[in-house]
A and B are shown apart, each in its own frame.
Chain A
Protein backbone atom coordinates (compact mmCIF):
# COMPACT_ATOMS: atom_id res chain seq x y z
CA UNK A 1 0.00 0.00 0.00
CA UNK A 2 2.78 2.31 1.01
CA UNK A 3 4.69 1.44 -2.17
CA UNK A 4 1.62 2.20 -4.30
CA UNK A 5 1.19 5.52 -2.59
CA UNK A 6 4.88 6.33 -3.11
CA UNK A 7 4.71 5.34 -6.78
CA UNK A 8 1.59 7.43 -7.20
CA UNK A 9 3.24 10.46 -5.61
CA UNK A 10 6.30 10.01 -7.82
CA UNK A 11 4.14 9.74 -10.94
CA UNK A 12 2.19 12.80 -9.90
CA UNK A 13 5.38 14.76 -9.35
CA UNK A 14 6.61 13.86 -12.82
CA UNK A 15 3.23 14.79 -14.25
CA UNK A 16 3.35 18.16 -12.53
CA UNK A 17 6.74 18.92 -14.02
CA UNK A 18 5.83 17.55 -17.46
CA UNK A 19 2.54 19.41 -17.34
CA UNK A 20 3.98 22.76 -16.47
CA UNK A 21 7.08 22.62 -18.63
CA UNK A 22 5.28 21.34 -21.72
CA UNK A 23 2.40 23.69 -21.20
CA UNK A 24 2.17 26.49 -23.76
CA UNK A 25 1.01 28.90 -21.08
CA UNK A 26 3.52 31.52 -19.93
CA UNK A 27 3.74 35.04 -18.67
CA UNK A 28 6.34 37.74 -18.77
CA UNK A 29 8.88 37.21 -16.06
CA UNK A 30 9.55 39.41 -13.17
CA UNK A 31 10.19 42.76 -11.77
CA UNK A 32 12.24 44.64 -14.29
CA UNK A 33 15.85 44.19 -15.22
CA UNK A 34 17.34 44.52 -11.71
CA UNK A 35 19.57 42.05 -9.88
CA UNK A 36 19.72 43.58 -6.40
CA UNK A 37 16.96 46.19 -6.29
CA UNK A 38 13.37 45.09 -5.73
CA UNK A 39 10.43 46.96 -7.17
CA UNK A 40 6.99 46.86 -5.57
CA UNK A 41 5.69 44.52 -8.27
CA UNK A 42 4.40 41.30 -6.73
CA UNK A 43 4.24 37.88 -8.35
CA UNK A 44 0.76 37.17 -9.71
CA UNK A 45 -1.20 34.76 -7.50
CA UNK A 46 -0.57 31.13 -8.50
CA UNK A 47 2.35 31.96 -10.84
CA UNK A 48 5.78 30.44 -10.32
CA UNK A 49 8.85 32.18 -11.67
CA UNK A 50 12.10 30.25 -11.90
CA UNK A 51 15.26 32.31 -12.27
CA UNK A 52 18.93 31.59 -12.24
CA UNK A 53 20.92 34.65 -11.20
CA UNK A 54 24.65 34.48 -11.78
CA UNK A 55 27.62 36.69 -11.12
CA UNK A 56 31.20 36.26 -12.22
CA UNK A 57 34.33 38.22 -11.45
CA UNK A 58 38.01 38.02 -10.54
CA UNK A 59 38.80 39.77 -7.29
CA UNK A 60 42.28 41.20 -6.72
CA UNK A 61 44.37 38.50 -5.07
CA UNK A 62 41.74 35.84 -5.69
CA UNK A 63 40.60 33.42 -8.36
CA UNK A 64 37.81 33.90 -10.90
CA UNK A 65 34.47 32.74 -9.50
CA UNK A 66 30.91 32.11 -10.64
CA UNK A 67 28.26 32.61 -7.97
CA UNK A 68 24.79 31.28 -8.68
CA UNK A 69 21.39 31.54 -7.08
CA UNK A 70 18.47 29.44 -8.27
CA UNK A 71 15.29 31.29 -7.37
CA UNK A 72 11.73 29.99 -7.11
CA UNK A 73 9.26 32.83 -6.72
CA UNK A 74 5.61 32.07 -6.09
CA UNK A 75 2.61 34.37 -5.78
CA UNK A 76 0.64 33.12 -2.78
CA UNK A 77 -1.76 36.06 -2.76
CA UNK A 78 -1.98 39.30 -4.70
CA UNK A 79 -0.37 40.94 -1.62
CA UNK A 80 2.06 38.16 -0.63
CA UNK A 81 4.96 36.73 -2.64
CA UNK A 82 7.28 34.06 -1.30
CA UNK A 83 10.66 32.95 -2.67
CA UNK A 84 13.22 30.27 -2.05
CA UNK A 85 16.82 30.61 -3.23
CA UNK A 86 19.41 27.85 -3.48
CA UNK A 87 22.92 29.30 -3.60
CA UNK A 88 26.17 27.82 -4.84
CA UNK A 89 29.44 28.90 -6.38
CA UNK A 90 32.43 27.62 -8.20
CA UNK A 91 35.94 29.07 -7.95
CA UNK A 92 38.71 28.44 -10.47
CA UNK A 93 41.54 26.21 -9.17
CA UNK A 94 39.46 25.49 -6.08
CA UNK A 95 36.04 23.77 -5.89
CA UNK A 96 32.29 23.97 -6.46
CA UNK A 97 30.19 24.21 -3.33
CA UNK A 98 26.57 24.56 -2.27
CA UNK A 99 26.52 27.56 0.01
CA UNK A 100 23.04 27.56 1.50
CA UNK A 101 19.46 28.68 1.07
CA UNK A 102 17.30 31.74 1.61
CA UNK A 103 13.58 32.05 2.20
CA UNK A 104 12.04 35.43 1.67
CA UNK A 105 8.56 36.91 1.84
CA UNK A 106 7.28 40.19 0.48
CA UNK A 107 4.10 41.85 1.67
CA UNK A 108 2.38 44.67 -0.13
CA UNK A 109 1.16 47.17 2.44
CA UNK A 110 -1.28 49.43 0.59
CA UNK A 111 -4.21 47.96 -1.34
CA UNK A 112 -4.19 50.60 -4.08
CA UNK A 113 -1.48 52.01 -6.34
CA UNK A 114 -0.04 55.34 -5.16
CA UNK A 115 2.74 57.64 -6.30
CA UNK A 116 5.01 55.70 -3.96
CA UNK A 117 4.23 52.14 -2.86
CA UNK A 118 5.77 50.41 0.16
CA UNK A 119 6.41 46.68 0.35
CA UNK A 120 7.82 44.93 3.44
CA UNK A 121 10.40 42.21 2.91
CA UNK A 122 11.52 39.61 5.45
CA UNK A 123 14.13 36.97 4.74
CA UNK A 124 15.83 34.17 6.62
CA UNK A 125 19.08 32.96 5.16
CA UNK A 126 21.24 30.04 6.18
CA UNK A 127 24.38 30.41 4.10
CA UNK A 128 28.09 30.04 4.71
CA UNK A 129 31.08 32.31 4.23
CA UNK A 130 31.82 30.85 0.78
CA UNK A 131 28.61 32.33 -0.66
CA UNK A 132 29.32 34.61 -3.61
CA UNK A 133 25.86 35.19 -5.04
CA UNK A 134 26.01 38.88 -4.01
CA UNK A 135 22.25 39.29 -3.83
CA UNK A 136 22.76 42.30 -1.57
CA UNK A 137 25.61 44.37 -0.19
CA UNK A 138 25.52 45.43 3.47
CA UNK A 139 27.89 46.62 6.17
CA UNK A 140 31.53 46.56 4.97
CA UNK A 141 31.06 43.69 2.49
CA UNK A 142 33.79 44.05 -0.08
CA UNK A 143 36.23 42.49 -2.49
CA UNK A 144 38.12 40.76 0.35
CA UNK A 145 35.02 38.58 1.00
CA UNK A 146 35.39 37.11 -2.49
CA UNK A 147 38.88 35.73 -1.91
CA UNK A 148 40.17 32.79 0.14
CA UNK A 149 39.71 29.05 -0.13
CA UNK A 150 36.23 27.55 -0.23
CA UNK A 151 37.19 24.92 2.33
CA UNK A 152 38.07 27.67 4.83
CA UNK A 153 35.31 30.14 3.95
CA UNK A 154 32.51 27.60 4.24
CA UNK A 155 33.28 27.02 7.91
CA UNK A 156 31.77 30.40 8.72
CA UNK A 157 28.00 30.02 9.24
CA UNK A 158 25.69 32.92 8.47
CA UNK A 159 22.18 32.49 9.80
CA UNK A 160 20.71 35.89 9.27
CA UNK A 161 17.41 37.70 9.31
CA UNK A 162 17.12 40.42 6.73
CA UNK A 163 14.45 43.08 6.46
CA UNK A 164 13.92 45.52 3.64
CA UNK A 165 11.68 48.44 3.07
CA UNK A 166 10.94 48.48 -0.64
CA UNK A 167 9.56 51.65 -2.16
CA UNK A 168 8.48 51.71 -5.76
CA UNK A 169 6.84 54.05 -8.25
CA UNK A 170 5.84 54.02 -11.89
CA UNK A 171 5.81 57.29 -13.77
CA UNK A 172 5.24 57.64 -17.52
CA UNK A 173 6.78 54.25 -18.27
CA UNK A 174 9.69 54.72 -15.88
CA UNK A 175 10.15 52.42 -12.89
CA UNK A 176 11.78 53.87 -9.77
CA UNK A 177 12.72 51.64 -6.84
CA UNK A 178 14.45 52.31 -3.53
CA UNK A 179 15.37 49.62 -0.99
CA UNK A 180 16.60 50.10 2.57
CA UNK A 181 18.21 46.97 3.99
CA UNK A 182 18.81 45.88 7.60
CA UNK A 183 20.42 42.54 8.35
CA UNK A 184 21.17 40.77 11.63
CA UNK A 185 23.02 37.57 12.37
CA UNK A 186 20.75 35.60 14.71
CA UNK A 187 23.62 34.62 17.00
CA UNK A 188 25.71 37.72 17.41
CA UNK A 189 27.07 40.71 15.47
CA UNK A 190 25.46 44.11 15.14
CA UNK A 191 22.72 45.22 12.74
CA UNK A 192 24.15 45.77 9.27
CA UNK A 193 22.70 48.20 6.76
CA UNK A 194 22.68 48.67 3.02
CA UNK A 195 20.73 50.27 0.22
CA UNK A 196 19.81 49.70 -3.42
CA UNK A 197 18.17 52.06 -5.88
CA UNK A 198 17.20 51.47 -9.48
CA UNK A 199 15.54 53.10 -12.44
CA UNK A 200 14.41 51.42 -15.66
CA UNK A 201 12.22 51.87 -18.71
CA UNK A 202 11.14 49.70 -21.64
CA UNK A 203 12.53 50.87 -25.00
CA UNK A 204 8.96 51.40 -26.25
CA UNK A 205 5.84 52.07 -24.21
CA UNK A 206 3.18 50.84 -26.64
CA UNK A 207 3.17 47.24 -27.86
CA UNK A 208 3.36 46.27 -31.51
CA UNK A 209 0.42 44.25 -32.84
CA UNK A 210 2.55 41.37 -34.13
CA UNK A 211 4.17 38.65 -32.02
CA UNK A 212 7.89 39.41 -32.16
CA UNK A 213 11.13 38.75 -30.34
CA UNK A 214 12.84 41.99 -31.26
CA UNK A 215 10.01 44.45 -30.64
CA UNK A 216 11.42 47.40 -28.66
CA UNK A 217 8.82 46.89 -25.90
CA UNK A 218 10.50 43.52 -25.15
CA UNK A 219 13.67 45.30 -24.04
CA UNK A 220 14.07 47.07 -20.72
CA UNK A 221 17.09 49.20 -19.93
CA UNK A 222 18.02 50.59 -16.56
CA UNK A 223 20.68 51.27 -14.03
CA UNK A 224 21.02 50.31 -10.39
CA UNK A 225 23.21 51.58 -7.60
CA UNK A 226 23.77 49.66 -4.37
CA UNK A 227 26.15 49.39 -1.47
CA UNK A 228 26.73 49.00 2.25
CA UNK A 229 26.04 51.52 4.99
CA UNK A 230 28.01 50.03 7.89
CA UNK A 231 26.50 48.86 11.16
CA UNK A 232 24.42 50.49 13.88
CA UNK A 233 27.67 51.08 15.80
CA UNK A 234 29.51 52.44 12.79
CA UNK A 235 26.87 53.79 10.42
CA UNK A 236 27.99 55.57 7.28
CA UNK A 237 29.94 55.24 4.07
CA UNK A 238 33.42 54.78 5.56
CA UNK A 239 35.16 51.63 4.23
CA UNK A 240 32.03 50.41 2.42
CA UNK A 241 31.56 49.01 -1.08
CA UNK A 242 29.33 50.58 -3.70
CA UNK A 243 28.45 49.50 -7.20
CA UNK A 244 26.86 51.07 -10.24
CA UNK A 245 25.37 48.69 -12.78
CA UNK A 246 23.70 49.41 -16.10
CA UNK A 247 21.31 46.61 -16.90
CA UNK A 248 19.40 45.31 -19.90
CA UNK A 249 16.52 42.83 -19.96
CA UNK A 250 15.17 41.07 -23.04
CA UNK A 251 11.98 39.04 -23.02
CA UNK A 252 11.33 36.61 -25.86
CA UNK A 253 7.84 36.35 -27.33
CA UNK A 254 7.39 32.87 -25.87
CA UNK A 255 8.31 33.86 -22.33
CA UNK A 256 11.97 33.41 -21.31
CA UNK A 257 13.73 36.53 -20.15
CA UNK A 258 17.46 37.23 -20.32
CA UNK A 259 19.10 39.94 -18.26
CA UNK A 260 22.69 41.12 -18.26
CA UNK A 261 24.40 43.73 -16.13
CA UNK A 262 28.06 44.80 -16.20
CA UNK A 263 28.76 46.00 -12.66
CA UNK A 264 31.43 48.49 -11.69
CA UNK A 265 32.82 48.98 -8.19
CA UNK A 266 33.16 52.66 -7.34
CA UNK A 267 35.08 52.57 -4.04
CA UNK A 268 38.45 51.16 -2.94
CA UNK A 269 36.92 48.17 -1.17
CA UNK A 270 34.54 47.20 -4.02
CA UNK A 271 35.35 44.53 -6.60
CA UNK A 272 36.54 46.36 -9.72
CA UNK A 273 34.24 44.60 -12.19
CA UNK A 274 31.54 41.96 -12.00
CA UNK A 275 29.35 40.58 -14.74
CA UNK A 276 25.83 39.54 -13.78
CA UNK A 277 23.48 37.56 -15.98
CA UNK A 278 20.17 35.85 -15.41
CA UNK A 279 17.61 33.71 -17.19
CA UNK A 280 14.05 33.48 -15.96
CA UNK A 281 10.82 31.84 -16.97
CA UNK A 282 7.40 32.29 -15.47
CA UNK A 283 4.89 29.45 -15.27
CA UNK A 284 1.38 30.76 -15.36
CA UNK A 285 -1.03 29.40 -12.78
CA UNK A 286 1.40 26.74 -11.60
CA UNK A 287 -0.56 26.32 -8.37
CA UNK A 288 -3.79 25.61 -10.20
CA UNK A 289 -2.14 23.16 -12.64
CA UNK A 290 -0.45 21.29 -9.80
CA UNK A 291 -3.68 21.07 -7.81
CA UNK A 292 -5.60 19.81 -10.85
CA UNK A 293 -2.98 17.16 -11.63
CA UNK A 294 -2.94 15.89 -8.06
CA UNK A 295 -6.73 15.84 -7.99
CA UNK A 296 -6.99 13.96 -11.30
CA UNK A 297 -4.45 11.38 -10.16
CA UNK A 298 -6.22 10.87 -6.85
CA UNK A 299 -3.07 11.65 -4.88
CA UNK A 300 -3.73 12.40 -1.28
CA UNK A 301 -6.95 10.43 -1.19
Chain B
Protein backbone atom coordinates (compact mmCIF):
# COMPACT_ATOMS: atom_id res chain seq x y z
CA UNK B 1 0.00 0.00 0.00
CA UNK B 2 2.85 2.36 0.95
CA UNK B 3 4.55 1.59 -2.37
CA UNK B 4 1.35 2.43 -4.26
CA UNK B 5 1.18 5.85 -2.54
CA UNK B 6 4.83 6.48 -3.44
CA UNK B 7 4.17 5.62 -7.09
CA UNK B 8 1.09 7.89 -7.15
CA UNK B 9 3.09 10.73 -5.56
CA UNK B 10 5.94 10.33 -8.07
CA UNK B 11 3.50 10.20 -11.00
CA UNK B 12 1.69 13.33 -9.77
CA UNK B 13 4.98 15.16 -9.39
CA UNK B 14 6.07 14.20 -12.92
CA UNK B 15 2.70 15.26 -14.31
CA UNK B 16 2.87 18.66 -12.57
CA UNK B 17 6.49 19.21 -13.63
CA UNK B 18 5.63 18.38 -17.26
CA UNK B 19 2.63 20.70 -17.15
CA UNK B 20 4.76 23.51 -15.68
CA UNK B 21 7.46 22.97 -18.33
CA UNK B 22 4.89 22.98 -21.13
CA UNK B 23 3.46 26.22 -19.79
CA UNK B 24 6.88 27.87 -19.68
CA UNK B 25 7.91 26.83 -23.21
CA UNK B 26 10.21 29.17 -25.10
CA UNK B 27 10.06 32.91 -24.65
CA UNK B 28 8.57 33.36 -28.10
CA UNK B 29 5.75 30.97 -27.20
CA UNK B 30 4.86 33.13 -24.21
CA UNK B 31 3.90 36.10 -26.38
CA UNK B 32 0.17 36.82 -26.10
CA UNK B 33 -1.87 36.39 -29.32
CA UNK B 34 -2.63 40.12 -29.46
CA UNK B 35 1.11 40.90 -29.73
CA UNK B 36 1.85 38.25 -32.33
CA UNK B 37 -0.68 39.77 -34.73
CA UNK B 38 1.52 42.85 -35.25
CA UNK B 39 3.62 42.75 -38.43
CA UNK B 40 7.15 44.09 -39.05
CA UNK B 41 7.01 47.37 -40.99
CA UNK B 42 10.53 46.68 -42.31
CA UNK B 43 9.96 43.05 -43.34
CA UNK B 44 12.14 42.07 -46.31
CA UNK B 45 13.75 45.54 -46.63
CA UNK B 46 17.47 45.16 -47.22
CA UNK B 47 18.42 48.53 -45.69
CA UNK B 48 16.55 47.61 -42.52
CA UNK B 49 18.28 44.22 -42.40
CA UNK B 50 21.69 45.91 -42.67
CA UNK B 51 20.77 48.37 -39.93
CA UNK B 52 19.48 45.42 -37.89
CA UNK B 53 22.82 43.64 -38.33
CA UNK B 54 24.60 46.72 -36.96
CA UNK B 55 22.22 46.93 -34.01
CA UNK B 56 22.48 43.19 -33.39
CA UNK B 57 26.29 43.45 -33.18
CA UNK B 58 25.95 46.28 -30.67
CA UNK B 59 23.07 45.09 -28.51
CA UNK B 60 22.80 41.30 -28.78
CA UNK B 61 26.11 39.78 -29.93
CA UNK B 62 27.82 39.95 -26.53
CA UNK B 63 25.44 37.31 -25.17
CA UNK B 64 24.14 35.49 -28.26
CA UNK B 65 27.41 35.58 -30.24
CA UNK B 66 28.26 37.59 -33.34
CA UNK B 67 27.02 34.71 -35.51
CA UNK B 68 23.92 34.40 -33.26
CA UNK B 69 24.98 30.82 -32.51
CA UNK B 70 24.47 31.20 -28.75
CA UNK B 71 27.02 31.21 -25.94
CA UNK B 72 26.94 28.88 -22.94
CA UNK B 73 23.41 28.94 -21.54
CA UNK B 74 22.33 31.76 -23.87
CA UNK B 75 20.23 30.27 -26.68
CA UNK B 76 21.17 30.56 -30.38
CA UNK B 77 19.04 32.86 -32.54
CA UNK B 78 19.98 31.39 -35.93
CA UNK B 79 17.41 28.62 -35.50
CA UNK B 80 14.28 27.76 -37.39
CA UNK B 81 12.04 28.58 -34.39
CA UNK B 82 13.27 32.19 -34.46
CA UNK B 83 13.23 32.44 -38.27
CA UNK B 84 9.71 31.06 -38.42
CA UNK B 85 8.39 32.93 -35.39
CA UNK B 86 5.88 35.69 -35.97
CA UNK B 87 7.61 39.11 -36.00
CA UNK B 88 5.11 40.34 -33.41
CA UNK B 89 6.15 37.58 -31.02
CA UNK B 90 9.83 38.49 -31.40
CA UNK B 91 8.95 42.14 -30.86
CA UNK B 92 7.14 41.18 -27.65
CA UNK B 93 10.25 39.31 -26.44
CA UNK B 94 12.52 42.28 -27.18
CA UNK B 95 10.15 44.66 -25.40
CA UNK B 96 9.66 42.59 -22.26
CA UNK B 97 12.73 40.38 -21.97
CA UNK B 98 12.62 37.77 -19.25
CA UNK B 99 13.98 38.79 -15.88
CA UNK B 100 13.84 35.15 -14.75
CA UNK B 101 16.02 33.92 -17.62
CA UNK B 102 18.42 36.86 -17.56
CA UNK B 103 17.20 38.37 -20.82
CA UNK B 104 16.95 42.14 -20.32
CA UNK B 105 14.21 44.28 -21.79
CA UNK B 106 15.21 46.26 -24.87
CA UNK B 107 12.29 48.65 -24.58
CA UNK B 108 14.81 51.51 -24.35
CA UNK B 109 15.54 51.02 -28.05
CA UNK B 110 13.06 52.97 -30.18
CA UNK B 111 10.46 50.74 -31.86
CA UNK B 112 11.91 51.11 -35.40
CA UNK B 113 15.29 49.86 -34.16
CA UNK B 114 13.69 46.80 -32.56
CA UNK B 115 11.90 46.05 -35.85
CA UNK B 116 15.22 46.42 -37.70
CA UNK B 117 16.78 43.81 -35.40
CA UNK B 118 13.87 41.48 -36.12
CA UNK B 119 14.24 42.05 -39.88
CA UNK B 120 17.87 40.94 -39.49
CA UNK B 121 17.01 37.93 -37.28
CA UNK B 122 14.71 36.67 -40.01
CA UNK B 123 17.67 36.45 -42.40
CA UNK B 124 19.87 34.34 -40.12
CA UNK B 125 20.61 30.77 -41.06
CA UNK B 126 22.49 28.15 -39.10
CA UNK B 127 26.08 27.79 -40.24
Q: Which residues of A contact B (CB under 8 A)?
A: 25-28, 31-32, 39, 41-42, 44-47, 75, 77-79, 108, 111-113, 170, 172-173, 175, 202, 205-211, 217, 284-285, 288
Contact = CB atoms under 8 A, between A and B. Distances in A.
Given A108-B99, A112-B96, A209-B54, A42 B104 contact: yes
A205 B102 contact: no
A111 B104 contact: no
A158 B58 CA distance: 40
A208 B51 CA distance: 6
B108 A170 contact: yes
B82 interface: no
Contacts, number: 84
19 contacts: A25-B62, A44-B104, A46-B63, A47-B62, A108-B99, A111-B100, A113-B95, A113-B105, A172-B111, A205-B110, A206-B48, A206-B110, A206-B112, A206-B113, A206-B116, A207-B54, A209-B54, A210-B50, A217-B113
Interface in B44-100: 47-48, 50-55, 58-59, 61-63, 72, 95-100
Given A45-B104, A78-B103, A284 B62 contact: yes
A173 B72 CA distance: 33
Interface residues of B, number: 32
Contacts of B108: 31-32, 39, 41, 170, 175
A211 B99 CA distance: 31
By DSSP majority rule, is chain A's interface helix, strand, loop, or mixed?
Answer: loop
A122 B99 CA distance: 20
Given A113-B96, A209-B54, A78 B62 contact: no
B107 interface: yes
A208 B55 CA distance: 10
B103 to A, nearest CB: 6
A45 B100 CA distance: 12
Nearest to A43: B104
Contacts of B98: 78, 111
A106 B48 CA distance: 34
A153 B108 CA distance: 40
Contacts of B96: 111-113
Contacts of B112: 205-207
A77 B113 contact: no
Given A44-B104, A172-B111, A209-B51, A27 B59 contact: yes
Question: Which of A28, A42, A113, A175 is most buried by chain B, counting CB atoms within 10 A of its CB?
Answer: A113
A186 B110 CA distance: 41
8 residue pairs, one from A and one from B, having the closest CB atoms: A209-B50, A284-B62, A206-B112, A205-B110, A173-B110, A207-B51, A79-B99, A209-B51
Contact of B62 (A27, A42, A202, A206): A27
A211 to B, nearest CB: 6
